[in-house]
C-alpha cells in the first residue's frame, strides 16, 4: 500500500500544479484535507529532492521545481516511500541483495517480480502530474462542457 505520506505528497503537488505559481501550505492543507504540520514535513522532503522550490516570508509558499510534465508519479513515490519494486533484489533505484537468498539467478520469485516491477514502472515512470490534470479536465469535459466544443 502507498503510505499516507505519498498520497499527501501527490495530492499537494497536483494542487500546486493545478493552481500554478506559488502556493501556501495552509491553503493546500485545508483544500486537500491534510494536517498542516504533517504537510510541512512532506513539503520539506519534496524541496530537498528538488521537486518544489520554496520562498519564505509574508507572500511565500511553494512552487513546482520544474514543469508539471516533467514530474512523474514514480519520482514522487520514490522520494516519499522508497522503492516501488516488491523485492529489494529487483529494484532498479534501490537495489539490495536478499540476504537469505543463496543464488539470485536461481530464485523462483525474482523473474516474476521483475515482471511486476516492469509493469508498474511502465505506468508510473511515464505518467506525470500534467497527465493527471489533463485526464481530469477530459473527464470534466466529457460530463459538462465538451459538447459545446463540437
Partner DNA sequence: TACAATCTCTACCAATCTGATAGGAAATTA
Partner DNA sequence: TAATTTCCTATCAGATTGGTAGAGATTGTA
The site for its own copies (CB under 8 A) is made up of: 1-2, 7, 10-11, 14, 32-34, 73, 82-83, 85-88, 98, 100, 102, 106, 108-109, 111-113, 115-116, 119-120, 122-124, 127, 132-133, 135-136, 139
User: Phi first, then psi: what are they for 130, rounded to 5°?
Assistant: -60, -40
Residue 58 binds DNA, judged by CB under 7 A: yes
Residue 111 binds DNA, judged by CB under 7 A: no
149 DSSP assignment: G
Q: Nine-digit cell at 43?
A: 513539503
Look at residue 54 and give the partner it binds from DNA, its own copies, none, a contact being a CB closer than 5 to 8 Å depending on partner kind.
DNA
CB 64 to its own copies: min, Å: 15
Residue in this structure with the C-alpha cell 493545478, named with its chain if needed: 18
Residue 109 binds DNA, judged by CB under 7 A: no
Total binding residues toward DNA, as defined by CB under 7 A:
26
CB atoms within 10 A of CB 73: 20
Q: Nine-digit cell at 102?
A: 543463496
- Listed in order, strand segments (DSSP E) in 1-150 are 52-55, 61-64
Amino acid at each position: 500500500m502507498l503510505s499516507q505520506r505519498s498520497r499527501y505528497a501527490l495530492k499537494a503537488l497536483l494542487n500546486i500544479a493545478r493552481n500554478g505559481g506559488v502556493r501556501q501550505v495552509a491553503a493546500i492543507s485545508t483544500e486537500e484535507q491534510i494536517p498542516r504540520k504533517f504537510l510541512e514535513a512532506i513539503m520539506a522532503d519534496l524541496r530537498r529532492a528538488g521537486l518544489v522550490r520554496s520562498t519564505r516570508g509574508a507572500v511565500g509558499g511553494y512552487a513546482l521545481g520544474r514543469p508539471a510534465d516533467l514530474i512523474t508519479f514514480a519520482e514522487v513515490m520514490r522520494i516519499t516511500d522508497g522503492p516501488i519494486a516488491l523485492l529489494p533484489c529487483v529494484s532498479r533505484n534501490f537495489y539490495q541483495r536478499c540476504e537469505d537468498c543463496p543464488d539470485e539467478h536461481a530464485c523462483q520469485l525474482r523473474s516474476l517480480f521483475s515482471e511486476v516491477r516492469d509493469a508498474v514502472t511502465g505506468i508510473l515512470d511515464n505518467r506525470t502530474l500534467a497527465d493527471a490534470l489533463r485526464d481530469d479536465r477530459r473527464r470534466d469535459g466529457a460530463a459538462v462542457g465538451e459538447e459545446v466544443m463540437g
